[in-house]
Amino acid sequence: MNALMREWQRFTPAERIGRWAAYFIIVLALIWALRGIEIIPEFLADAPEQMLDLLARMWPPHLGHYHPAVHEALVETLHIASLGTLFSFIFAVPLALMAARNICPYAWLNTLAQLALVTSRSVNSLVWALIFVAIFGPGAAAGTFAIAFRSIGFVGKLLAEALEEISPGPQEALRATGAPDSHVILKGVWPQISPAFWGVALFRWDINIRESAVLGLVGAGGIGVVLDDAINFFQWDRVATILLAILGIVILAEILVTKLRARLI
Amino acid sequence: MMQGLVIRDLVKEYVPGKPVLRGIKLTIEAQGITAVIGPSGTGKSTLLRCINRLVEPTQGEIRLNGEDLVPLKGHALRMARRRIGMVFQEYNLVERLSVMENVLSGRLGYVSFWRAWLRRYAEEDIARAFELLEAVGLPEQATRRADALSGGQRQRVGIARALMQRPELLLADEPTSSLDPRTAIEIMELMTGLSTSARVPLIVNIHNVDLARRFAQRIIGMAGGEIVFDGPPEHLEASHLRQIYGGEDWL
């Protein structure tokens, strides 16, 4: 054989053309997007100046504003997040059991449950909040339901995946003793998924604290309401206090969740 | 009423037209140890699982102490399963529960959901569980988690769980295949000893022909989904083993 024939190339010519075409399309898409967002050059130019101005107005934060208005809103946010997480489990656990193919043998129920879970996830918390504000009126109730309905999909999907990964042996053994399905789930399935269950519960609670902080922007209660008011009245020192309070509660939740998880799992 | 287990014309097809069991006929008396030998994939496990209906028979009749198990459904099926204990190759313990709870789960066919949830088992069940743990040689291990045990210890718990049912029939599906040779013998000794003293008939699927000969009073040889040998261990000859496992170089 000719020595030249042994030359090695990473890509075939067709692959190379394909790669260049892909790069070209990416660049085109970028240009299209940039044109789409309609940047106003003057606004772009003085953006750093505006940002510094905003920070100067925020500094020093008006910490006296924290008590009582911000504090109460913060507690309400915690209530929304905790109750919302709890409510989501009431729906998510049965849906997860229905969605898991090794637990529920009916294919149509699996599909139905998965559809419900996807629907819950595909709608953003803010959109759920808008819907529930329309139903319940503005306030914490709307926020709680928004958090719950957004969490159902997340919690249900993760629980269903945990359920599908369990070992079938213990279930088979318990069924062989004559135990009814409810007992099999209690003693054969639950012990296997309880670490995943607590992990998901804590993780979602952590996420929900962050999500419920913004729900007030659409009137669904919590600290977002106070934040929205402060921004509308251009009280930037108050805005800074509120942002610091949110940061504080998120860090606290994170620490608590990490500690609890280490204990529970 | 006929005591013991009577199987008639048992057929199981996982895929229509491809039977794994081809019309099994078998009568097992209300006591004694029966070993089922045969190559992998010949339907030994399927046969055992048809008896307690973990696998649905395609057709045939399985009578335990007179009652046909094949048409049973729902509650009646669970009542029948309570009378049949089973020991598994992979032990099938609930790993994150304690040894005690694993043994007590043999009573799950009897206790209510709330009692099981609150772990309020009857005093006599708990006393019996302690007795059984002693009998299987694990008197000190009640509070340990099942995943902290060795393979041999886990199988001992599996045996205790099955006996906790006070079964009328004990099934064991390759109970020693995941164990080292010495532990395998210990487990067979334990299981045959306990089932004999409790006067429970034992049917055990087993790969190891020597173990089958040593512990069973009756050997059933299966090949291709049919019974090709049925008799006491003394009658099992090299010619039968050739018929069961095929070839002869290994003998």
In tens, the pLDDT along B66-75 reads 899 999 999 9
Alpha helix (H) residue ranges in chain A? 13-36, 41-45, 47-58, 71-99, 107-122, 125-136, 140-164, 169-176, 181-184, 190-215, 223-232, 236-264
Residue with token string 């949110």: A246
Distance CA A24, CA B43 (A): 61
Confidence of residue B135 (pLDDT cuts 50, 70, 90): very high
Confidence of residue A61 (pLDDT cuts 50, 70, 90): confident
Mean pLDDT of A144-162: 94
Q: Is the pLDDT of residue A214 over 90?
A: no
Give, to the nearest 10 degrees, the angle between helix A223-232 and helix A190-215: 20
Identify the DSSP state of B165. T
Domain A63-264 belongs to what architecture?
A: Orthogonal Bundle (1.10)
Q: Residues A73, A223: contact at Cβ < 8 Å?
A: yes
CB contact under 8 A, A169 and B52: no
Confidence of residue B103 (pLDDT cuts 50, 70, 90): very high
CB contact under 8 A, A192 and B94: yes
Distance CA B157, CA B217 (A): 25
Confidence of residue B109 (pLDDT cuts 50, 70, 90): very high
pLDDT value at residue A237: 86
Q: Residues A176, A114: contact at Cβ < 8 Å?
A: no
Higher pLDDT residue, A22 or A39? A22
Residues in chain B: 251
CB contact under 8 A, A177 and B105: yes
pLDDT value at residue A223: 87
The dihedrals phi and psi of A175, each to the nearest 5 degrees, come to -60, -35
Give, to the nearest 10 degrees, the angle between helix B151-164 and helix B123-135: 140
Q: What radius of gyration do chain A's Cα atoms show?
A: 26
Q: How much is the pTM? A: 0.82
* Interface pTM, i.e. ipTM: 0.92
Residue of B nearest to A182 (CA): B113
CATH 1.10.3720.10 location in chain A: 63-264
Q: Tell me: the pLDDT tens digits for A117-135?
A: 999 999 888 899 999 999 9
Domain B1-83+167-251: give its CATH superfamily.
Answer: P-loop containing nucleotide triphosphate hydrolases (3.40.50.300)
Distance CA B17, CA B89 (A): 29
Give the closest-approach CA distance of B156 to chain A in angstroms. 14
pLDDT value at residue A3: 56
Residues of B with CB under 8 A from a CB of A: 52, 54, 78-86, 88, 90-97, 101, 105-109, 111, 113, 116-117, 158, 161, 165
pLDDT value at residue B1: 54
Residue of B nearest to A177 (CA): B82
CB contact under 8 A, B85 and A191: no
Q: Residues A222, B152: contact at Cβ < 8 Å?
A: no
pLDDT value at residue A50: 86
Residue A95, burial from CB neighbour count under 10 angstroms (0-12, 13-18, 19+): buried
